[in-house]
Amino acid sequence: MSTLIKGARPYGEDAVDILVTGGRIAAVGDELTVPGADVVEAAGLVALPGLVDLHTHLREPGREDAETVETGSRAAALGGYTAVHAMANTDPVADTAGVVEQVWRLGRHAGLVDVVPVGAVTVGLRGERLAELGAMADSAARVRVFSDDGHCVADPALMRRALEYVKALDGVVAQHAEEPRLTVGAQMNEGDRSARLGLTGWPAAAEEAVIARDVLLAGHVGARLHVCHVSTAGSVEILRWAKSRGVQVTAEVTPHHLLLTDECAEGYDPVYKVNPPLRTEADVQALRAGLADGTIDAVATDHAPHAVEDKESEWASARPGMLGLEQALAVVVQTMVEPGLLDWRGVAERMSVAPAAIGRLESHGRPLAVGEPANLLLLDPAHRATVDPAALASRSCNSPYAGRELPGRVVHTFLRGAPTVLDGKAQR
């Protein structure tokens, strides 16, 4: 089976035709004609390698009322993703080979994106002793990213051992950086707004202190560290310093931390409650600058679906987290591309190449070139639309972008040459 994509602009550059055969890019050139091939008109559309998310909560097993591997995969494909890392904080926790293989199989069955399970660092995310990281790495799911996300691996000795241990697995520890003693009862960024709203503050120092500690540990033992959802200007500075010293550290930022500020907490609508919390405008600007200069390697969604009843409540009793998969690229276009901070190659680097490298995914994040796996998306950058949470593919509707107009529309997505999204519609 062959598909001929006509007139697409790889990385926003000159229009070409792209021939996809047998799951790979077979030819790239002008005015290709291939008898019998399905033709996809893509005039004016930007072609990018399929996006890779390092940080997705698919909620299955355990909270299938909020999201399933299948519904989350569909949301991902519609967002232009071809691979997502499924976080370990399910019920049961993904801390054994059995659970990660189950999630991996559910992903294969859904067939919309490659679902790559993340393994828990510690048993039950309890931060007490290491889970069987080797068994998860050796399983069919081939786990390379380990994270207790939702919880910080707060014990410094345990964190050191985890960093050391995963070296043997070519793995990486993805740290949710939050000193728990500094965030007891925390509800939102600690600052002027928390003072007035009377919501317990989540100080930037609680994130920065753990990142500082962990980059020192990673440097000391020569291990790879990945920092989840960096949210403060101070964190960016610490990462910049660590990288200048040669520490093997990578970091991600979420779309919502690139766009939204703690001003959203006014009105107490918990759709804006998230962990780490939305920060200040100065933090947003520092995160954009850090993503532009490569201090922050990747955009990761922290897509966190929640059932209606877990959000339709008082702020303090609502669960933290917000949807991201379907709007991530649009937010990056608005916050990074349109202001000139990233070009399309930069978007490909931060949303596909770098996350694939961090997760050790060999067939994702590849160039749009002959012989490469045909994982790609086609984006209409001129399109603008207002986000309607009810129209999202996710089973939940806790989108912080509801009612906002955002640029860019993913028109087509291909996974190994097969269309998962055509003309904005999921194909399964």
Partner 1 sequence: MKRHLLEAADLDRDDATLVLDTAAQIESALAGREVKKLPTLRGRTVVNLFYEDSTRTRISFELAAKRLSADVINFSAKGSSVSKGESLKDTALTLEAMGSDAIVVRHGASGAPHRLAQWVQGSVVNAGDGTHEHPTQALLDAYTIRQRLGRLDGIRVVVVGDVLHSRVARSNVWLLATLGAEVTLVAPPTLLPVGVGSWPVQVGYDLDAVLPKADVVMMLRVQAERMNASFFPSAREYSRRYGLDGRRMGALPDDAIVMHPGPMNRGMEIAAVVADSARSTIVDQVGNGVSVRMAVLYLLLGGASASE
Q: Nearer to partner 1 by C-beta: 139 or 187? A: 187
Given the structure tokens 């030819």, which residue do they identify?
27
Q: Report d(CA 352, CA 48) in Å as an integer.
A: 9
Lookup: tokens for 403: 């009612």
**Least distance to partner 1, CB of residue 290, Å:** 24
List, in sequence order, every beta strand (DSSP E) within 360-404: 376-386
Q: Are strands 38-41 and 2-10 parallel, antiparallel or unpaired?
A: parallel
**Least distance to partner 1, CB of residue 234, Å:** 14
- The answer to whether the CB of 110 falls within 8 A of the CB of 162 is no
Q: Is 197 in the site for partner 1 (CB under 8 A)?
A: yes
- Which DSSP state fits 180? G
Among the candidate windows 92-100, 218-226, 296-304, 313-321, which touches partner 1 by CB under 8 A? 313-321
Q: Report d(CA 78, CA 83) in Å as an integer.
A: 12
| Contact track, partner 1, 131-170, x by CB under 8 A | ----------------------------------------
**Least distance to partner 1, CB of residue 197, Å:** 6
Q: Is 252 in the site for partner 1 (CB under 8 A)?
A: no
Q: Nearer to partner 1 by C-beta: 148 or 310? A: 310
193 CB-side CA count, 13 A: 18
Q: Are strands 172-175 and 225-227 parallel, antiparallel or unpaired?
A: parallel
**Least distance to partner 1, CB of residue 239, Å:** 24
**Least distance to partner 1, CB of residue 126, Å:** 21
Q: Is 283 in the site for partner 1 (CB under 8 A)?
A: no
Alpha helices in 145-280 (DSSP H): 156-165, 192-197, 204-221, 233-244, 255-259
Q: Determine which residue in the list 128, 170, 312, 405 makes contact with partner 1, applying CB under 8 A.
A: 312
Lookup: tokens for 159: 């964190």
Q: Determine which residue in the list 35, 36, 267, 340 makes contact with partner 1, applying CB under 8 A.
A: 267
Q: Report d(CA 138, CA 344) in Å as an integer.
A: 36
**Is the N-terminal amide bond of 355 cis, ω within 30° of 0?**
no
Burial (Cβ within 10 Å: 0-12, 13-18, ≥19) of residue 163: buried
Q: Determine which residue in the list 198, 246, 340, 371 makes contact with partner 1, applying CB under 8 A.
A: 198
Size of site (CB under 8 A) for partner 1: 26
- The answer to whether the CB of 268 falls within 8 A of the CB of 313 is no
Q: Determine which residue in the list 117, 201, 277, 359 makes contact with partner 1, applying CB under 8 A.
A: 201
**Least distance to partner 1, CB of residue 156, Å:** 22
Q: Is 200 in the site for partner 1 (CB under 8 A)?
A: yes
Q: Nearer to partner 1 by C-beta: 74 or 193? A: 193
Q: Is 193 in the site for partner 1 (CB under 8 A)?
A: yes
- The answer to whether the CB of 42 falls within 8 A of the CB of 288 is no
- The answer to whether the CB of 133 falls within 8 A of the CB of 165 is yes
Among the candidate windows 25-33, 243-251, 305-313, 322-330, which touches partner 1 by CB under 8 A? 305-313
Q: Is 44 in the site for partner 1 (CB under 8 A)?
A: no
Q: Nearer to partner 1 by C-beta: 123 or 197? A: 197
Q: Is 192 in the site for partner 1 (CB under 8 A)?
A: yes
Q: Report d(CA 250, CA 359) in Å as an integer.
A: 11
- The answer to whether the CB of 57 falls within 8 A of the CB of 85 is no
- Catalytic machinery residues: 302
Q: Nearer to partner 1 by C-beta: 27 or 315? A: 315
Q: Is 244 in the site for partner 1 (CB under 8 A)?
A: no
| Contact track, partner 1, 314-353, x by CB under 8 A | xxxxx-----------------------------------
Q: Which residues bind partner 1 (CB under 8 A)?
A: 187, 190-201, 203, 267-269, 309-310, 312-318
